[in-house]
Amino acid sequence: GAGVSQSPSNKVTEKGKDVELRCDPISGHTALYWYRQSLGQGLEFLIYFQGNSAPDKSGLPSDRFSAERTGGSVSTLTIQRTQQEDSAVYLCASSLKALNGGAPETQYFGPGTRLLVL
Amino acid sequence: EDQVTQSPEALRLQEGESSSLNCSYTVSGLRGLFWYRQDPGKGPEFLFTLYSAGEEKEKERLKATLTKKESFLHITAPKPEDSATYLCAVRVTGGGNKLTFGTGTQLKVEL
């Protein structure tokens, strides 16, 4: 079956512009995650969705970052007024329903969106 | 603060030369340790999940083990196609569902 898909695969933007990154999870996966991977850094958690709700937004670095999920499927990560330090690979992952306190479900990752802010 | 440290940062092996990658962790409570493989320009590909000390899992030339402080990814008789960055991540008690990643070990296997 199809894996996690992300678009665009690459995005070049100018400082101060807004960008939208899209994630299409594996069919049937109710949990969705956004991570950021900067050069030389490990993957950094941004936000987690269970269905359309985001119970954990603790990783969003500033109020310029927001995300939404509709229909329990596609998610969009929006970065407003982009800065050069936002340049990174943005990775989306999905899993079966993640139960707090239960065995952790495996997260499957998409190919990422490479964002370059000039 | 939960921490995951991987070593070495980079490793170069000859084809057939077995070795191990290390992932040490300091966490409040471990709910799962994950190994992923990442090829250049691609997203991480899931390899293994380990839940408790003493657990071992194998897949082809790879074997993952777990103790109370660290995990090892053993690579037996590696081939050039095993070249990739190997990432370790943990899910911790009270940490919700997020994964905390190490910075990875970049492995290159040469003929």
Query: According to the model, what pLDDT value does residue A39 have?
Result: 85
pLDDT bin (cut points 50, 70, 90) of residue B95 is confident
d(CA A105, CA A36): 20
Query: According to the model, what pLDDT value does residue B17 have?
Result: 97
CB distance A78 to A60 below 8 Å: no
Query: According to the model, what pLDDT value does residue A2 have?
Result: 84
Residue whose structure tokens are 């994964």? B99
Query: According to the model, what pLDDT value does residue A1 have?
Result: 55
Higher pLDDT, A99 or B19: B19
Query: According to the model, what pLDDT value does residue B33 have?
Result: 95
Query: According to the model, what pLDDT value does residue A88 have?
Result: 97
Kindly identify which residue of chain A lies nearest to residue B47, measuring between CA atoms.
A106
**Percent of chain B at pLDDT above 70?**
100
Q: What Å distances lie between residue B80 and B12, B13, B47, CA to CA?
A: 11, 9, 18
Query: According to the model, what pLDDT value does residue B106 have?
Result: 97
Over the stretch A53-82, which tens digit does the pLDDT of each residue have?
A: 998 999 999 999 999 999 989 999 999 999
Inter-chain contact A109–B36, Cβ cutoff 8 Å?
yes
| Pick from B45, B98, B102: CB nearest A45 | B98
The size of the A-B interface in CB pairs under 8 A is: 69
Inter-chain contact B100–A45, Cβ cutoff 8 Å?
yes
Query: According to the model, what pLDDT value does residue B97 have?
Result: 83
Q: Is the pLDDT of residue A102 over 80?
A: no
Inter-chain contact B97–A100, Cβ cutoff 8 Å?
yes
User: Phi/psi at A111 (nearest 5 deg)?
Assistant: -80, -15
Inter-chain contact B46–A40, Cβ cutoff 8 Å?
no
| Pick from A43, A48, A108: CB nearest B101 | A43
Mean of the pLDDT values across residues B17-26? 97
3-state SS of chain A? Answer: CCCCEEECCEEEECCCCCEEEEEECCCCCCEEEEEEECCCCCEEEEEEEECCEEEECCCCCCCCEEEEECCCCCEEEEECCCCHHHCEEEEEEEECCCCCCCCCCCCEECCCEEEEEC
What is the nearest CA distance from A24 to chain B, expressed in angstroms? 14
Q: What average pLDDT does the structure give for chain A?
A: 92
CB distance B61 to B75 below 8 Å: yes
What is the nearest CA distance from A82 to chain B, expressed in angstroms? 22
Mean of the pLDDT values across residues B51-63? 96
Query: According to the model, what pLDDT value does residue B42 have?
Result: 95
Query: According to the model, what pLDDT value does residue B5 have?
Result: 96
Contacts of A44 in chain B (CB under 8 A): 101
Q: Is the pLDDT of residue B110 over 90?
A: yes
Lowest mean pLDDT among B19-23, B31-35, B50-54, B92-96: B92-96
Mean of the pLDDT values across residues A84-110? 85
Strands B100-101 and B84-92 come out as antiparallel
Inter-chain contact A45–B87, Cβ cutoff 8 Å?
no
Helix (H) or strand (E) holding B109: strand B105-110
- Interface probe, candidates A32, A89, A107, A116, chain B, greatest B C-beta count within 10 A: A107
Inter-chain contact B42–A43, Cβ cutoff 8 Å?
no
